[in-house]
Amino acid sequence: MGGSKTGSDSTPGTEDGVSDDVDSGGPTAAVGQRLAALADRFDADLLTLLAVATSAVLVVAFYYPVATVLVEAVVVDGAVTLAVFAEILRDPFYVGELARLFAGESPVAVARALLSPDRRLGIVGFTAYQAALSTVASVALGLPAAYLLARFEFPGRRTLRSLTIVPFVLPSIMVAVGFVATFGDRGTLNAVLATVGLPPVDLLFTLEAVVIAHAFYNAPLVARVTTAAWESVDASAVETARSLGAGPTRAFYDVVAPQVYPAVLTGAALTFVFTFGTFPIVLALGGFELATVEVFVYRLVRDLSYAEAAALAVIELVISLAVLLAYLRYEARSSVQSRGVRPLPRRPLHPPALTAREVLPRVGLAVYAAVAALIFLAPIASMILASVTGGDGALTLEHYRFLAQRQRTGAAFQVRPWPAIRNSLVFATAATLVALPMGVVVAVLTTRKYRGRKLVDAAAMAPLAVSGIIVGLGLLRGLVFGVEVAGWRIAATGAAAIVVAHAVSGYPVVVRTVAPGLEGLDRSLVESARALGASRVRALRDVELPLVWPAVVAGAAFAFAISIGEFTATVVLATGADAYTMPVAIERFIGRRLGPATAMGVVLLVVTGVSFVVIERLGGEYRGL
Amino acid sequence: MGSDRDAGSDAPNDDPVAVELDGVTKRYGEADAVADVTLRVREGEFFTLVGPSGCGKTTTLRLIAGFEAPTAGAIRFGGADIAGVPPEDRDVGVVFQNYALFPHMTVGENVAYGLNFADPPEGVTRDERVAELLELVDLPDVADRDPRASRGAAPSASAMARALAPGPDVLLLDEPMSALDARLRERLRVQVRAIQSELGITTVYVTHDQEEALAISDRVAVLRDGVVEQVAPPRTVYREPATRFVAEFVGDNNVFAGRVVETAGPGGDETTVPATAIVAVDGGGSARRGGAESETLRVGLGGVSGAAGGNAVAVGDRLTFCVRPQHLVVGDATTNAMRATVESAEFLGETTRVTLDWKGRDLVVRTQDPPSGEVVVGFDPTDAHVVDASR
C-alpha cells in the first residue's frame, strides 16, 4: 500500500507518502508534485470561479438591466409612484372592459360586458385571448402526433421524434417569412387553390395566421412532453386493468389518461406562456393592428415612452409568472417518477385486421398527417420556393442577385447581407462560448443538495420568464448608453450587449439539457471517483461531464441556434447600423420585399442547419452513451 | 448497551485500532440513522456490519468513507480525527453494491483511475499495477474490455481491483455481492476473504445477509435501528447472542421468556450465578389457541456471566433465553419435554426445517427425518443460552 495521494498535504497519512516520492524521484519529482498540487488547487477553485463569473454575467446582463427597467416604471420625476400602472389598468385600450372594474364599476356589469358580442378586450385581453386560442390549436395539433409517436411503430419514427425539437430552434422570423410565403395573397396556398379553381383566401394579418404559426411552434412541444409521458405508462398497469375486467377504452381512461394528461397540461401551460409573450410572429404576421403586449411594448420603446413600456412589460411579466407558478405548483403535486417500466407495445401502421377498431384510428392519423404536413412543411417549402420564384411565377435567382447587389452597392443605412450573416455567426459563437460554461455550472449547482437550492434554481432560470424586450431595453438604456460606476463611465458596444443578451437567453436551455443528465447519473459513480482520490471538480471533469457529454453538445447546439434565431432583444439592441443579424435583416426586408426576405430566410435556414450539423458531428463520437 | 458486553471479546486481540467510531450519530431530519455508535476496527481485520435494511449499516460505511458527515461524535483513522477530511483524502477504497464502474472507460482505465491521484508502489509502472490488480482478482486479460459488457463475478472483481489499486489503508465494501446469484456469491466471498488476507488490508464489509457475515468476518457488528446490538467474532455472535434481537436475527432460533421459579446448584445469592434455573415460560402470544397457560423449563446458566453482565440470578427474575433448532431433539422425553404438534415442514436438502406448535407458540426444529402429528421435543439445559436477565 505505498500509494500516496497528490495535492492533499493537510491530511493524515500523506506526509510520508510525499517524502517517499521526493526521496525516490529527486528534485524533478518534487517539482512535479508541486505542479500537480497547484493544478489541483486551481481545479478546486475553478468551479467557484465559474460560479462567480456566471453570477456576474447574470447580474450585468440580466438582473441589473431588468431592475433599471422596473425602476423606470415606478419612479416618475424622482418620486416612487404606481401612477403609470394605475393609468394602464384603467385604460380600456390596454385591458378592455376590465378597465371599468379597476375604475370602480361593479364586477357583474363588467362580466356582462365581457360576454356581450361587442366586447372590448384591450391589448392585454387580446394577448391572453390569442394565447388561449394558440394553446388550444397547439394541443389539438400536438396530441395526434403524440399518439402516433407513442403507440405506433413505423420506419422513421425515431427520426420524426427527434425532429419535433426542430421548430423550437427555428428562427421565428424565418418561420414568419415562411408563413407569409404560404398564406399571403400571392402565397403557395392561393396558387394551389387557384389551380383547382377555388377562390383565394387572405389569411395574412389575421388572427388565424398568428394562431397557426404559434401552433407550428408549440404543437411539437406538446407532442414531445405527451409522448414521453405516454411512453412511461407501464404496460403491466394496463394489463392489470384489462385482467380486472376493463375494456380497452375503459383501461385507457382509467390507467393511461391520468398519467398522460398532466403532461398535456404541462405542454399547454408552457404554450400559453410562450404565446402570451410572443413577439416576432405577431410583428411579422399580425402587424400593429393585431398587437400583443410584447409588440406594443416594442412600439412604446420605439416611441421613447419608456415608463409606459416598462409598466406594461411588468404587467405582462406578472401574468406570465402567475401562470408559470400555478403550473409549477400543480406539477410539484402530480409529478411521478417512473423508471424501468415496460412501455406499451407499439402497433404497426398498416392495420393487422380490417375492423373498425383497427382502421379508424389509422384513417384519422392519415388525415392528421396531411394537415400536419401543410402546417409544418408548407412554410419551409414555400419559403424556399418563393426565394427562387420571380414576380411572373418563373424560376429565377433574382432575389439572391438582389442580395448580392445590395451587398456590393448598398448604402450605409441599408441592410447588407454579409454583415448580417457574419454578425449572426460571430454573435452565436460568442454567445455559445459564454452560455455553455454558465449552463454547466448552474446545472452542477442546481443538481446538488443544499439549503437554498430552489432559490438558486429560480434565480438562474428567471431569464426564461422575462421578455426579451425588457432585457434588451434594460441593456440598451443601461450598458449601451453607459452607466457610471464609482466615477467611471462604463459603456458596452451594441455587439457586446447582444452577445450577453443571447448568452443569458440561451443558457437556461443548456441547464435544462445538462441538469437532467447529471441528476440521472448514479451517485456512486462520483463517490467512487472521490474515494479513489479525485476532488469534487476532478470527478465532475473525469466522470460526470464525459457521461453527459451528448447533453452538453446538445445544449451548445441549442444555445447556438437560439442566438442565431434570437430576434426580440436583438432588434432592440441592434439600433446601430452595424450590429444587425440575419433575423433583423429579414424583418427589415419583409415589410417591403418578400422575395429578398425569403432569400435571406433560406440563407438563415442553411446557416442554422449547417451549424447544427457541425455541432452534431463534433459531438458525434460520444453519441450512444 | 452492546459495547460493554463485548469488552471481553475485544480483549484477546491487541492489534492497533485502524478505524474508530466514537459515539457517532447521524441524524436525517428527525430520525437517527445511526445513534451513538462506538466501534473499533483493528488493523488488518475483516469487520462486518450486519443488520436488516434500514439499520444504519450503509450510513455507517458512508460516514467512514466521508460521503456523509456525522451529526455528533468522532471518527478516527489511526487515532487521528478525520472530521472535515474529504473522501478523496481519506485513503479508503470503496466498492458499491452496483460497483459503479465508469461506463465510459475500459476495465483497465477504471482500475488505473485512482493512480491519477496516488502513485503505484515503487518500481511498478501504472500498467504493471493495473495488470497486477486484475491478476489478483482473477481477471487477467480484461483490461481492454467495456465494463458494461462484463457479466457474473467480473464487475464486482473489477470494482474491487479499482478500489485496491491506489493502495488504500481501509477497504469499504457495501453489499458488493447482493446482486449475484447464491452460488456465485458463495464463490466470490471466499475470493474476497482470500484477497483481504493476502493484502492484510483493514476491511469494513456491509451486508444484510447474516450467513455471509458469519462466513467471512473476523468480527461482526450487529446493528438495529442505528444502534449496535453486539460486536463479537462470528462464533460468539452465533453461540452467545447478546440480545434477543441478535438471537433472532442471526440464524434460526427459539427464544423463550419467563420468570425464574427455582434455582439449583451452588450460589443463588447476590454474587454467584447458580448452575441452573427453572423458568416458568410465558405463554404464546396468540389468544386464538388459548396458549396463556405456562410451562416450566430447566435452563443452564453457564453463559449468564458473559451475556447478562455477571448479575446473579434469583427467584423472581425475568429471564430471556434461546435454544438453537439443532439443539431441540425430537423424541427426547427426559429433559424439558415439550409436547407439540407439527405445523409445517420445509425440506432444505441436508435437513428439514420443521415448525411445531407448542402451546400457541412456534418452535423450530431441524431434523433429518421429519415427524408428523404429535411429537415430544426436549433440550439439554446447557444448550440454552440466556440473552437477558432482569429483576
Q: How far is B86 from chain A (nearest CA, A)?
A: 8
pLDDT at A340: 53
C-alpha cell recorded at residue B326: 439443532
* Contact of B259 with B334, CB cutoff 8 Å: no
Per CB-CB distance under 8 Å, the chain A contacts of B114 are 3, 532-533
Q: How far apart are CA B221 and CA A522, in angstroms?
A: 28
pLDDT at B60: 95
Confidence of residue A25 (pLDDT cuts 50, 70, 90): very low
- Would the pTM of this model clear 0.90, i.e. be above it? no
C-alpha cell recorded at residue A154: 413505423
Can you tell me the mean pLDDT for B315-337?
84
Q: How far is A452 from chain B (nearest CA, A)?
A: 16
Can you tell me the mean pLDDT for A486-502?
77
Query: From B113, which residue of chain A is nearest by alpha-carbon distance?
Result: A532
pLDDT at A625: 26
Query: If contacts are CB pairs under 8 Å, which of residues 2-21 in chain A contact chain B?
Result: 2-8, 10-14, 17, 20-21
pLDDT at B25: 95
Can you tell me the mean pLDDT for B59-85?
93
Q: What is the pLDDT of residues B255-298, one digit of tens each?
A: 998 888 888 776 545 556 677 888 888 865 444 444 444 588 88
Which CATH superfamily is A123-337+366-387 part of? MetI-like (1.10.3720.10)
A–B: how many Cβ contacts below 8 A?
129
The half-sphere exposure of A533 on its side-chain side, counting CA atoms within 13 A, is 29
Class of A55-68+394-625 in CATH: mainly alpha
Q: How far apart are CA A314 and CA B12, in angstroms?
A: 77
pLDDT at B158: 93
Confidence of residue A620 (pLDDT cuts 50, 70, 90): very low
CB contact under 8 A, B88 and A5: yes
Confidence of residue A525 (pLDDT cuts 50, 70, 90): very high
HEC per residue, A384-436: HHHHCECCCCCECCHHHHHHHHHHHHCCCCCCCHHHHHHHHHHHHHHHHHHHH
Q: What is the pLDDT of residues A74-109, one digit of tens each?
A: 777 777 777 777 777 777 777 777 767 777 777 777
Average pLDDT over chain A reads: 78
Q: Among B91, B107, B124, B130, which would you mutate to test the A interface (most chain A Cβ atoms within 10 Å of its Cβ)?
A: B91
User: Which DSSP symbol is given to A541?
Assistant: I
Is the pLDDT score of B229 beyond 90?
A: yes
Q: How far apart are CA B95 and CA B159, in angstroms?
A: 6
Q: How far apart are CA B110 and CA B104, in angstroms?
A: 9
Is the pLDDT score of B361 beyond 80?
A: yes
**Which range, of A93-102, A511-520, A597-606, averages the lowest pLDDT?**
A93-102
Of A13, A21, A527, the CB nearest to B169: A13
HEC per residue, A13-70: CCHHHHHHHHHHHHHHHHHHHHHHHHHHHHHHHHHHHHHHHHHHHHHHHHHHHHHHHH
Task: Give which of A540, A70, A486, A135 is closest to A310, Cα–Cα.
Answer: A70
* Contact of B187 with B160, CB cutoff 8 Å: no
Is the pLDDT score of B323 beyond 60?
A: yes
Highest mean pLDDT among A259-273, A384-398, A456-470, B72-86: B72-86
Torsion angle, alpha carbons of B93, B96, B99, B101, to 10: -60
Q: Are strands B276-281 and B295-300 parallel, antiparallel or unpaired?
A: antiparallel
Q: What is the pLDDT of residues B173-209, one digit of tens each?
A: 999 888 788 888 888 999 999 999 999 999 999 999 9
A118 vs B378, residue with greater confidence: B378
pLDDT at A349: 82
**Which range, of A114-128, A140-154, A289-303, B358-372, averages the lowest pLDDT?**
A114-128
Query: If contacts are CB pairs under 8 Å, which of residues 35-94 in chain B contact chain A?
Result: 65-67, 77-78, 80, 82, 85-94
Confidence of residue B9 (pLDDT cuts 50, 70, 90): very low
CB contact under 8 A, B94 and A529: no
A325 touches chain B (CB under 8 A): no
B106 touches chain A (CB under 8 A): no
CB contact under 8 A, B169 and A24: no
Residues sharing a CB contact under 8 Å with residue A588, sequence separation 6 or more, in sequence order:
A415, A580
Highest mean pLDDT among A179-193, A301-315, A362-376, A566-580: A362-376
* Contact of A97 with A119, CB cutoff 8 Å: yes
pLDDT at B190: 92
Domains A55-68+394-625 and A123-337+366-387 share a fold: yes
Give domain limits for chain A.
55-68+394-625, 123-337+366-387
Of B78, B86, B113, the CB nearest to A532: B113
CB contact under 8 A, B92 and A531: yes
**Residue B112, SS3?**
helix
CB contact under 8 A, B122 and A24: yes
A118 vs A243, residue with greater confidence: A243
- Provide the H-helix boundaries in chain B: 2-5, 7-10, 57-65, 107-113, 126-136, 154-164, 182-199, 210-216, 234-239, 244-249, 304-307
Residue in this structure with the C-alpha cell 431441540, named with its chain if needed: B328
ipTM, two decimals = 0.79
Distance between start and end Cα atoms, chain B? 17
Per CB-CB distance under 8 Å, the chain A contacts of B83 are none
A531 touches chain B (CB under 8 A): yes
Angle at A356 between CA A354 and CA A360, to 5 degrees: 100
Q: Please provide the DSSP assignment of A316-362 as one string.
A: HHHHHHHHHHHHHHHHHHH-----S--BPPPEESS-SS-SHHHHHHH
Query: If contacts are CB pairs under 8 Å, which of residues 236-265 in chain A contact chain B?
Result: none
* Contact of A291 with A123, CB cutoff 8 Å: yes
pLDDT at B46: 96
